[in-house]
Structure 1
Amino acid sequence: MSRSARDQLESIFGRIGDGSPVFTRLLAETARAEADAADTRRAAGLKLSPLDGTIVSIKDLFDVRRETTWAGSSLLKGAAPAAQDAPIVARLRQAGAVIIGKTNMSEFAFSGLGLNATFGTPGNALDAARIPGGSSSGAAVSVAQGSSELTVGTDTGGSCRIPAALNGIVGMKPTHGSVPDEGCFPLAPSLDVIGPLAKDVAGCARLLSVLAGRPFALAEGLKPGRFRIGVARGGFLAEAAPSVVKAYEAAIERVARLGVAVEPVDFDAVWQEMMAAYSVPLVAVEAAAVHREAIASKPEAFDRRVAARISLGTSYKAADYIAAMQTRRRLIGKLAALLDGLDGFLAPTVPIEAPTIAALEASDDAFFTANRLMLRNAAFGNLFDLCSISLPMPLGDKLSGGLMLSAVAGQDLRLLNLAKLIEPAAAGH
């Protein structure tokens, strides 16, 4: 018989100890009560959901009743506690999940690297000297190191998929708007989406079912020959590390050997059109609106690198924003037409290996270069309103990348099923 939820929880608490940078806060009292309740139901032969008794962590962007939402920033440490649980937290509780704590993150979710000067930076689960990826840094590390079974992150420009790739787990960006985002501190509302991270695709599907409030049941016995997948290169491989290119091409060959039809696709022209639509990145424009008062009155309270990127959007004109968003809607449709007849397309989640924490802390140039490259491929999915998932793609000893599978909005279940089918090929099996 498997261990009780309470025994598993206490074992994790014992391993974590005090002051782990993976978590900003452990919810020990409520987690123990939730574990005991799950064990009581189990003894009685009752089960609220497939997540009943599962240990889940949540990013410190989500409101938990009577707790302050810090969003990875010292700026919010004095803020009032939340009056109620965010809807996704309430859904987890109703499903019987054991919410162990709130995970660390890049300040205000505004970086793909995962560094945090206030709460400390969690080391990568495969090599603690390297970055964990961001912004859902502690989330990915918590699953990869076993301090939670499943975890909830957010993805504005890759923030579920990037840290999943670097830590060797699965991370998903669902279709925008498919998971309620009330009670989640925003970064850029046009791009923000709440998503699951897990050891495997099946775990992501179970967690997404609860978060979205509808089932994502994976099919059995899918025939590979039914699927057609595009293979993206071009801009997705620009400035890529040789280890990433080698692993990506090998993964494509393994997917093809499964019997899945693969064919090249070229999105560079439509991608360049999208980038040209904004003289300032869309995420910076909307983040500047979110933080308008604080960035004007106390910019010194922000991480200086976060403040620099938010400040890019402060002078952006409303007319330019409206025009750019109209162009974005047109280009989303244009990309969907290019994907017509395909079940999705592949690209590397990140084009480079995880840099060391020390190198990025020491140099602004190294930080901003790494941040640009870390976000570039994954952010494509947010800008073009895709659903997208990153599968572990080993790069070598203590290094992981990701094989990213993306599809048009609303195809989340098909995406999950196809991801489950090619999951072993991504991992090299």
Structure 2
Amino acid sequence: MREQPGEAPLIWWSAEDLRDAIAEGTLTAEEVMSAFLDRIDTVNDEINVLVFQLPREECLELAREADRRRETGEALGPLHGLPIAVKDLVDVRGMPTSQGSRAFANGSPVAADAPHVGLMREAGALIIGKTNSPEFGVGTLTWNDVFGITRNPYDTSRHAGGSSGGVAAVAAGMLPLCDGSDSGGSLRYPAAFCNAVGLRTTPGTVPGTFGGNSWDPHSVYGPMARSCSDAALLLDAMRGAHPAAPLSRLGEAHGAEGEERGRAIRLAWSDDLGGLPVSAEVRETLADARRRLVEAGVQIVDVNVDLDGVDRAWEIIELFGWYSLLGADPLERPELYRDDFLRNVSEAADFTSDDLATAFARRYRLYTQFAALLEDFDGFVCPATPVVAPPAEVLWVDEVDGVEFSRYFEWQRLACRLTMTGHPVLAMPAGFSGGLPVGMQVVGSYGGDRELLALGSALEEVLGMGRVLPQL
């Protein structure tokens, strides 16, 4: 076990320390569960992140059963006794899946776990609820007409980010870990806004079912935590093959143990990922992080990457994915869907085979570019978001540094462009500006998810921003 957290409240212990203490019997799972439930009772009304929760006594009984298994000498999984909530796009046995949509808001509890949820449960996680998401995960701010806005623990007048809004619960000390999904920044934007870690995994590492689009590597599941080491703990529990997730067979080897870092780190760096607009606050914070890393001996080289045509290719693949999943239902029942989502599906219905072929070819070329680049570097770094967390009344950011956007996904391009590499991408804390967290993205080698988290841990040691807690 790592250095003990001393007098820190249990809610701020690392997931690793909590897991070890439960396994050793110095803490009970019931004590841990009770501490997190008390915190949820205190702050969830303000943050609005847990949108479904099992009754308190049911949660405590899950913890007591975990304690009984330890007492009888049963083999314990890597998440034994840890409370976790799951993104409300994902099925959890016995819980409804609303997807933040009026179309599914009154759904019944589902009968079976999604593949990665079943793996977390097998690893000993105690799944106590569901976390908020925008409708169908569309966009990188968490709000919907069913549950409302999820707010930022560092400033509750601002957004937590999305679509994996559950990281707000982790940042607020309501949970030690949570899951998320990502096609255009949904693990990375909220992690950056909430001073946390989110890993867009190599496709196939975590088993995922995405309806008719399950063969496509565009959308992935991944871990969210307050540190890279805790994210690695959850990743190890989430990864594996599943018969319903075809790409997961390819990913069985992904996520092997990360290497010990005993050599100088060498990073490729971009301030704006090909000229994208980035606010002064984010630029200055990343520049300060870069200075600190260089002072610590990290070698950093500015690089340029050919990104011509990548934005449109991402749009085609993203919108086609939604049409593959839902078909014409949004067009037949438009009153149940967001206007921007309707526009997505309507546009996708008119895509041609040439549109799709061009997009898929561009994605492959970008994959090969980054594969070659990362032969010479440990990682590629750029900002995680173009701005700090926006005010909570904003539906999406329509201007950055004087550049105006006409569609919600245009301000997500720092993330969308890196989705198209096919490589794992880590979002992690880089610093603060005006009291608000700023994050950076680190791209690692294909299949090197654990190595990327080990690199992130080394960068955390220098930057240390994950230790700055919200004042709630």
Asked if 1:9 corresponds to 2:44, the answer is no
Given the two structures, how large is their TM-score scaled by the length of structure 2? 0.82
**Shift of residue 393, structure 1, vs aligned partner:** 2.0
User: After alignment, is 111-120 or 304-313 more displaced?
Assistant: 304-313
Superposed, 1:280-429 pairs within 5 Å as: 280-360=315-395, 371-372=408-409, 374-427=411-464
Contact 1:237–1:351 (8 Å) recurs in 2? no
Q: How far apart, in 1, do the equivalents of 2:363 and 2:49 lie?
A: 36
Aligned length: 422
**Corresponding residue for residue 299 of structure 2:** 261
**Shift of residue 236, structure 1, vs aligned partner:** 5.4
Q: How far apart, in 2, do the equivalents of 1:183 and 1:241 lie?
A: 34
Contact 1:224–1:260 (8 Å) recurs in 2? no
**Corresponding residue for residue 267 of structure 2:** 229
Task: Return the match for 1:274 from 310, 320, 325.
Answer: 310
**Shift of residue 59, structure 1, vs aligned partner:** 0.5
Q: Give deviations 1:321-371, integer Å, cap 9, x for gaps.
A: 13321332233213322333212111110111111012438x988996694
**Helix, strand or coil: the match of 1:312?**
helix
Q: Give deviations 1:242-261, integer Å, cap 9, x for gaps.
A: 11111111111222222222
Equivalent AA in structure 2 for residue 58 of structure 1: V
CA RMSD of aligned residues (A): 2.8
Q: Give deviations 1:66-121, integer Å, cap 9, x for gaps.
A: 33321121211344542311121111111111112110011101101122221111
User: After alignment, is 294-303 or 24-33 more displaced?
Assistant: 24-33
Contact 2:102–2:145 (8 Å) recurs in 1? no
Task: Return the match for 1:21 from 35, 48, 53.
Answer: 48
**Shift of residue 189, structure 1, vs aligned partner:** 4.4
Q: How far apart, in 2, do the equivalents of 1:188 and 1:121 lie?
A: 32
Asked if 1:116 corresponds to 2:151, the answer is no
Equivalent AA in structure 1 for residue 378 of structure 2: D
**Shift of residue 186, structure 1, vs aligned partner:** 7.1
**Helix, strand or coil: the match of 1:159?**
coil
**Helix, strand or coil: the match of 1:56?**
strand
The alpha-carbon distance between structure 1 residues 261 and 211, as it changes in their structure 2 partners (threshold 3 A), is: same
In structure 2, list runs of 5 or more residues that go unmatched.
Answer: 1-20, 241-251, 468-472
**Corresponding residue for residue 135 of structure 1:** 163
Equivalent AA in structure 2 for residue 407 of structure 1: G
Contact 2:40–2:174 (8 Å) recurs in 1? yes
Q: How far apart, in 1, do the equivalents of 2:416 and 2:215 lie?
A: 12
**Shift of residue 312, structure 1, vs aligned partner:** 2.9
**Helix, strand or coil: the match of 2:349?**
coil
Contact 1:289–1:314 (8 Å) recurs in 2? no
The alpha-carbon distance between structure 1 residues 283 and 409, as it changes in their structure 2 partners (threshold 3 A), is: same
**Corresponding residue for residue 133 of structure 2:** 105
Equivalent AA in structure 2 for residue 308 of structure 1: R
**Shift of residue 149, structure 1, vs aligned partner:** 0.5
Q: How far apart, in 2, do the equivalents of 1:217 and 1:294 lie?
A: 44
**Corresponding residue for residue 252 of structure 1:** 290
**Corresponding residue for residue 199 of structure 1:** 226
Contact 1:205–1:217 (8 Å) recurs in 2? no
Q: Which has the higher helix share?
A: 1
The alpha-carbon distance between structure 1 residues 395 and 153, as it changes in their structure 2 partners (threshold 3 A), is: same
Equivalent AA in structure 1 for residue 232 of structure 2: A
What is the percentage of aligned positions where both structures have the same residue? Answer: 29
User: After alignment, is 69-78 or 365-374 more displaced?
Assistant: 365-374
**Shift of residue 3, structure 1, vs aligned partner:** 4.1
User: After alignment, is 111-120 or 328-337 more displaced?
Assistant: 328-337
Contact 1:390–1:404 (8 Å) recurs in 2? yes
The alpha-carbon distance between structure 1 residues 109 and 348, as it changes in their structure 2 partners (threshold 3 A), is: same
Q: How far apart, in 2, do the equivalents of 1:370 and 1:231 lie?
A: 28
Q: How far apart, in 1, do the equivalents of 2:115 and 2:285 lie?
A: 39
In structure 1, list runs of 5 or more residues that go unmatched.
Answer: none
**Corresponding residue for residue 5 of structure 2:** none
**Shift of residue 181, structure 1, vs aligned partner:** 0.6
Asked if 1:38 corresponds to 2:75, the answer is no
